[in-house]
């Protein structure tokens, strides 16, 4: 069977998750291990935030949405330390901060079809290296394989050209239903958002939805258990 013909998108470059080692001090949070039990009616919807910074959005989201569990990943050490300092003061049971590279961690920790939504709030625009923009990366296909049907990817940026490209890629390459709108001027989800809006800049949000029957090359792909266990 020609596997390419079953795909729901037009991305040609193929992500290679098998080449990524698990991050240092890697572990899989219990909340993710519990997602394997599909019959658990008490299981909270799982949300992923990539690039959580100092945790402003993650902390406020978890405080407001007690019915959801947020996993918030930040790679930069000083930002993560500021995040965990605030987290330790609030001790939210439905928030799990993770200090790691988001791509490697997601590959080894997140099962297919397990995320209700994914937040990409004000990522590095990578203006000098557009191949590293999220919707230009082959990894985005893997990320979609981890999203549940009907789940959403929420991308926000203050750079219009970044949003223009993301919207175009969502439609032409990833074949995702989406909606784009301006962020309200009083929104305060992240420190970047507060700063940009205070300067009078326009911020945009693109919300992409995974439709029924969406197929990727990684819908049944799991990380090798040995590579995970070696890091424990």
Distance CA 170, CA 164 (A): 10
pLDDT attached to residue 5: 58
Distance CA 197, CA 201 (A): 5
- pTM score, whole prediction: 0.92
pLDDT of residue 161: 95
- For residue 43, the model assigns a pLDDT of 81
pLDDT of residue 223: 85
Contacts of 41 (CB under 8 A, 6+ apart): none
With cut-offs at 50, 70 and 90, classify the pLDDT of residue 227: very low
- The Cα–Cα gap between 131 and 133 comes to 6
For the segment 13-23, the average pLDDT, to the nearest whole number, is 95
Indicate the range of 15-29, 56-70, 121-135, 218-232 predicted with least confidence: 218-232
% of residues, the chain, pLDDT over 90: 84
Tokens of 230: 């070696």
Name the residue among 167, 164, 152, 148 with its Cα closest to residue 216.
148
Proportion of the chain in helix, strand, coil states, percent, rounded to 5 = 35, 20, 45
Cα angle 156-160-163, degrees, rounded to a multiple of 5: 50
Longest dimension (CA), the chain: 54
Give the chain's radius of gyration (CA, Å): 17
Tokens 């296909």 -> residue: 141
9: CB partners within 8 A, 6+ apart = 141, 144, 173, 174, 175, 216
Give pLDDT tens digits for 36-79.
665 555 688 999 999 999 999 999 999 999 999 999 999 999 99
Tokens of 40: 């658990």
Q: What is the pLDDT of residues 86-131, one digit of tens each?
A: 999 998 999 999 999 999 999 999 999 999 999 999 999 988 899 9
Q: What is the pLDDT of residue 1?
A: 35
Q: Percent of the chain scored above 70 by pLDDT?
A: 91
pLDDT of residue 229: 40
Give the pLDDT of residue 36.
60
Is residue 190 over pLDDT 80?
A: yes
Burial (CB count <10 Å: 0-12, 13-18, 19+), residue 41: exposed
């Amino acid at each position: 069977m020609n596997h390419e013909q079953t795909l729901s998108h037009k991305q040609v470059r193929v992500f290679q998750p098998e080449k990524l080692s698990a991050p240092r001090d890697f572990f899989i949070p219990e909340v993710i291990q519990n997602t394997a039990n599909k019959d658990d009616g008490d299981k909270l919807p799982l949300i992923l935030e990539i690039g959580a910074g100092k945790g402003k959005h993650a902390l406020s989201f978890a405080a407001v949405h007690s019915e959801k569990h947020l996993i918030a990943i930040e790679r930069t050490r000083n930002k993560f330390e500021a995040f965990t300092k605030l987290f330790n003061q609030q001790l939210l049971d439905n928030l799990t901060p993770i200090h790691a590279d988001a791509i490697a961690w997601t590959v080894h920790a997140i099962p297919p079809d397990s995320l209700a939504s994914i937040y990409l709030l004000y990522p590095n625009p990578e203006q000098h290296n557009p191949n590293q923009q999220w919707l230009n990366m082959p990894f985005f296909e893997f990320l979609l394989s981890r999203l549940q049907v009907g789940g959403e990817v929420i991308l926000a940026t203050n750079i219009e050209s970044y949003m223009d490209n993301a919207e175009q890629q969502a439609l032409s390459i990833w074949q995702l239903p989406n909606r784009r709108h301006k962020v309200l001027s009083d929104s305060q989800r992240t420190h970047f958002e507060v700063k940009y809006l205070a300067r009078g800049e326009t911020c945009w949000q693109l919300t992409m939805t995974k439709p029924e029957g969406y197929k990727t090359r990684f819908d049944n792909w799991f990380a090798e258990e040995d590579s995970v266990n070696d890091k424990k």
